[in-house]
Amino acid sequence: MNEYNYIIVGSGIAGLYTSLLAREHGTVLILTKGSIDECNTKYAQGGIAAAIGQGDSAELHFRDTMAAGAGLCDPEAVRLLVEEAPDRITDLVNFGVPFDTLNGEVALTREAAHSVPRILHAGGDATGEHIEVTLSRMARLAKVTILEHFLATEIIVEDGVAKGVRALDCSSGSFEEFGSKSVILATGGGGGLFKFTTNPEIATGDGIALAYRAGAEITDMEFFQFHPTALRLPGVTRCLISEAVRGEGGILRNEEGRQFMFDYSPDGDLAPRDIVARGILSEMRKTGSDRVFLDVTHLPSRKISARFPHIYRFCLDHGLNITKSLIPVSPAAHYMMGGVKTNVWGETNIAGLFAAGEAACTGVHGANRLASNSLLEVVVFAKRILERTGKASRPSKRARRRREQDYVSLSDREATGAVPALSLPAFQSLMWDKVGIVRSGEELEKAASILASWQETLKKPSDRPSYELSDMILVGRLMAEAALIREESRGAHFRTDFPEPLPAWQRHIVFRKTD
């Protein structure tokens, strides 16, 4: 078995940033199922939040984050996030990330649910891509071993301690084992579980499935954020239309041309994402359309092309000049708030196993992520993982508990009706239709039953597609079961049969595998 001090699964910003810190403490291996350039981070347009501007403070950032989380944020984790943000921005600048400037100072913009401008961008709406390119270049130059097209299939656990990873070489079809004192899951989220998503195809929830099968605790899986505005053009990839477009004055209009978001929130177009997504869905149903429109034609054209060069060029390449025509948009699956449960040091309940980025649930996001806190969460808590593992003291074996928690496990289910034939499109349609933006107990029951039946009939995986499908079905079950258990509406989780938040549900649902 090849031995390393650190094994990092995933090559997005979480994996790359962690690897650059880890190289100071020992040997590092990155396993990535695709190429190092194939990740979710590069599609992040919104930016990274930090209280570094005049009139802003860590306290204001703390309040905004707590409010967005709808009562389920971990105050300690949020406090660490906002207070350590400026130092982590400095780290990225030192790594060479080219944040946008205005008159010699870092330019800051505002996004929904932020009380002041505090979002840093790089290349306008290409922030994630700039950070990814910068870090991947540094990782290639550093003493970091990178194995591309290696899919992690199992976390090796002995006596309750993570000892390494078993992985499939997707090129040869052979398996290899790698040993390590610290295994860090940085596999990203699971937008690929849904029919419509802003994520690339690689976002299949692999890290969460790996962790669950190894015995790690998984929490807050009912909270999945659907971005309100993804480009809706026939035959065109669902390009994200950044929330910052509305922050700069973009207006949502329905098929009739009417601005409608003030019907759903006093904050109008700058309401939290879950409210905007549901508002758009409601308007689409009222008008019988599959889209609404985002209007920036009243804004200076030079401002739009300079501030959002990626969006402007992408739309122009597909025949749409957004400075003159309305942008057709509709919601799409975007970001997973839940994941592998960690404490504020990135530790899971399995000694030696850590999680960072979207695959982790640090407690920062609660029931609804505040825009542009995700990239910040990566750099803050990745740093803390390395602070913990770099010490002589042994990491604790269990993650710290937060708030009240219900511990459950996936139970056997009997099919209650006809089970459709399993295929990736059938799975993604099921998740979108029954575990999507608006849910109900009846539809969640159907989804949970079908998912359990599919899982029962799955053949043993043998290649990347079959492993990914197996992982997606498991993660889909965790989502559907959590959403079924939570009999209320809170943050990104909305149920028509329980449309209000209930004080009794201000607690977390935690899954852990039982033998």
List the one residue out of 395, 322, 316, 317 whose CA is nearest residue 352: 395
Q: Are 337 and 367 in contact (CB under 8 A)?
A: yes
Q: Which of 238, 273, 307, 490 is catalytic?
A: 273
| DSSP-derived secondary structure letter, 500 | S
Q: Determine the 3-state secondary structure of 496 from DSSP.
A: coil
CA dist 284 and 261 (Å) reads 13
Residue 347 amino acid letter:
E
89, with CB counted inside 10 A (0-12, 13-18, 19+), is buried
Specify whether 63 is catalytic.
Answer: no
Residue whose C-alpha is closest to residue 52's, from 5, 8, 98, 116: 116
- d(Cα 179, Cα 195) in Å, to the nearest integer? 37
Q: Identify the CA nearest to 382 among candidates 355, 352, 350.
A: 355
Residue 59 structure tokens: 């306290």
Q: How many residues does the chain have?
A: 515
Phi and psi torsions of 383, nearest 5° = -60, -40
Place of tokens 């922050």: 247
How far, in Å, CA of 346 to CA of 334, rounded?
A: 23
Which residue numbers are catalytic?
273
